[in-house]
Amino acid sequence: MRKQIAAANWKMNLTYQQGEQLLDDILNAKIALKDHQLTIFAVPFPYLIMANSEITDEKNYFIAAQNCYSKKSGAYTGEVSVEMLKSIGIKYCVLGHSERREYFSESNQLLAEKINICLSLDIIPIFCCGEPLAIREAGTQNSFVETQLKESLFHLSSEQLTQIIIAYEPIWAIGTGKTASTEQAQEIHAYLRSVLAKQYGKATADSISILYGGSVKSNNAKELFGCPDVDGGLVGGASLIANDFIQIIKALK
């Protein structure tokens, strides 16, 4: 079975003390993850070391950075390199979140560079793709997300691609309370997998985890995760509430 993943994206939320308490509350639930299940916390940069120390003895719990820079090192004040993340034991990095694309004008080409540097240092990218409301309403979401995959990922070898986690974000469902129906989620996830299969073959496509990232909540996670091509979620607001995220972890296949 593909890896089934509950990934928390804290975004720019919580103080250090609140973040520490949230991790404690979730870990104290003592959820025993199966071999094919992962829980990942994408926390703000100042909390990475603390969070990584919290999960040290936990099986299949990991910490992710929410971003990285596209260069190895240099005079880039305020940026954080993949080498820095590697040096503190971080194993995952979220790339191309819709907020990074929208607010910071991150292009597919820039994200390809970030993918490359992460893979070169054995940090696993959680690559986000997805369409805004206007694209969904025009019915062109398939070609839109296909372009995102092609321009950021299709330079990779099959072996490199299998190291990546993909997160599909219907941007129109992030923070709006709207959620894609299970049918919509399954349809677009299956399409993404078909795009990968056309380029890399069915076996490679079938091995890649594709997460759903649009207003996943404790009361809809089980239904969403039950879709054949939905391999968990990249969770925003609900990941900031211990009891909600505990239920989301428990909803993994």
Token duo for residue 230: 């939905």
Q: Which one of the listed residues 54, 97, 106, 131 is annotated catalytic?
A: 97
Q: Are 251 and 225 in contact (CB under 8 A)?
A: yes
Concerning whether 155 is annotated as a catalytic residue, the answer is no
SS3 labels along the chain:
CCCEEEEEECCCCCCHHHHHHHHHHHHCCCCCCCCCEEEEEECCHHHHHHHHHHCCCCCCEEEEECCCCCCCCCCCCCCCCHHHHHHCCCCEEEECCHHHHHHHCCCHHHHHHHHHHHHHCCCEEEEEECCCHHHHHHCCHHHHHHHHHHHHHCCCCHHHHCCCEEEECCHHHCCCCCCCCHHHHHHHHHHHHHHHHHHHCHHHHHCCCEEECCCCCCCCHHHHHCCCCCCEEEECHHHHCHHHHHHHHHCCC
Report the distance separating Cα 106 and Cα 110, nearest Å. 6
Q: What is the largest CA-CA distance in the chain?
A: 48
Q: Which one of the listed residues 54, 99, 106, 169 is annotated catalytic?
A: 169
Torsion angles phi and psi, residue 64, rounded to 5: -125, 150
Concerning whether 97 is annotated as a catalytic residue, the answer is yes
Catalytic site residues? 97, 169
